[in-house]
Homo-oligomer: A and B are copies of this chain.
Amino acid sequence: MTPGIPDNMFLRGSVPMTKADVRALTICRARLAPNQTVWEVGAGTGSVTVEAALRVPGGRIYAVEEKAEAAALTAENCRLFGTHNVTVVHGRAPEALLGLPRPHRVMVGGSRGELAEIIRLCGRELLPGGVIVVNAIRPATLQLALDVLSLPPFGTPEGVLVQVSGLERLGDGYHFRAQNPVWIICAGREG
């Protein structure tokens, strides 16, 4: 129903995972809806894949992941959650995106140094009114996303810096354990 599945419900292996609250905000910023075609670049564990798949019944997620271990984990998590509208694409973006059906939404979780090329390709392939969301933990990724998403055909980029700290028991009380800061940057394709 609502995004933000608890982290411990996913199989994780040794692949880093987008944590529940940042994952929820990413899904929300992507404005997912039924029947959409969604490209996910850098699926990692597949936690975002699963959440996206649950939000687009009648649509399809193309989850691109270069690492074999992570691609397998994404497929496993989709089985675990029974999401049948996911196609895991084991390959490297942007090449692996060529030939996929044009998307309503693109979510970029990892880009292995190809972010500019990936965003430019999405600028051509995104359907009009479509939205791209980029998650960044490196300043260089943030800056590149802002640079390319500030150009046509994208509208004004929006985004947030998010710092989440999770409540944990400490002795007979609580404290907050910090997660690393994340930038979520999004832009619409105009026209």
From B24, B138, B162, B176, give the contact of A164 (CB < 8 A). B162
Whether the pair B167, A159 counts as a contact (CB closer than 8 A) is yes
Whether the pair B140, A174 counts as a contact (CB closer than 8 A) is yes
Number of copies: 4
Whether the pair B31, A2 counts as a contact (CB closer than 8 A) is yes
Contacts of A156 in B (CB 8 A): 169
Contacts of A27 in B (CB 8 A): 2
Q: What number of A residues sit within 8 Å (CB to CB) of B?
A: 48
Within 8 A of B (CB), among A104-143: 137-143
Whether the pair A2, B28 counts as a contact (CB closer than 8 A) is yes
From B30, B165, B176, B178, give the contact of A2 (CB < 8 A). B30
Contacts of A138 in B (CB 8 A): 170, 173-175
Contact with B along A163-185 (1 / 0, CB 8 A): 11111011001111111110001
